[in-house]
Structure 1
Amino acid sequence: MSSTVTFEIPREVLHATRMSEDELRRELALHLFDEGKLSFGKARELAGMSVWDFQQLLGHRGIAVHYDVDAYEQDRQTLKRLGRI
């Protein structure tokens, strides 16, 4: 079951940032991802961007994609199972 949470940002605050609503949503997604509060997928969803576009934005901003040793090992096992390595 999916639901939506709505919160209000005063127009003056939005105006002070000189950003559109979409830009502000993107900034929030980037910040929450960088802080480890959102996964890549959820942050990308909040930003309203494709996987490729969000990855490019992260790279442009110098934000590293969270990829630890466990994820690396899982990827290696998957590649072995597929006969790629």
Structure 2
Amino acid sequence: MGLVISDEFLQTAHITETDLKLEIAILLFQQEKITLGTASHFVGMNQLEFQRLLGSRKIPIHYGVEDLQQDLKTLEANDWR
């Protein structure tokens, strides 16, 4: 599924496409809808960079066994070797 967001919307919101993707990833991560790995992949950052960003915003990192298992499945599905 693709989502198209108009340039007009981005201009009205005073946000870039990259920053909007970042905000979406952070929000979904905070709501525990996606894992740290999924969020960082979505925005094109490595996990350490994304963790630092979360830390700069004082957002706690919740990462448990289920998150690790999901990240491993994501890696295997994308053949990231």
TM-score between the two structures when normalised by the length of structure 1: 0.69
- Quote the offset at 1:69 in angstroms: 9.1
- The match for 1:54 is 50
How many residue pairs get aligned? The number is 67
Query: What per-residue deviation string (whole Å, max 9, x for no partner) do you get for residues 43-63 of structure 1?
Result: 111111111110110001111
Q: Which runs of 5+ in 2 are unaligned?
A: 68-81
Q: Tell me the residue number matched to 2:60.
A: 64
Once the two structures are aligned, what percentage of the paired residues are identical? 36
Match of 1:41 in 2: 37
1:3-82 → structure 2 map (5 Å cutoff): 5-67=1-63
Structure 1 residues 69 and 10: alpha-carbon distance in aligned structure 2, compared to 1, 3 A threshold = closer
Q: What whole-Å deviation, never above 9, does each CA across 1:20-78 have from its counterpart, x for those lacking one?
A: 1111101100000001110110011111111111011000111110045999xxxxxxx
Structure 2 counterpart of 1:60, one-letter code: S
Consecutive aligned runs of 4 or more in structure 1 exceeding 3 Å deviation = 67-71
Q: Which has the higher contact order (CA 8 A, sep 6+)?
A: 2
The normalised TM-score by structure 2 is 0.72
Match of 1:83 in 2: none
Root-mean-square deviation (CA), in Å?
2.1
Tell which deviates more after alignment, 29-38 or 11-20.
Answer: 11-20
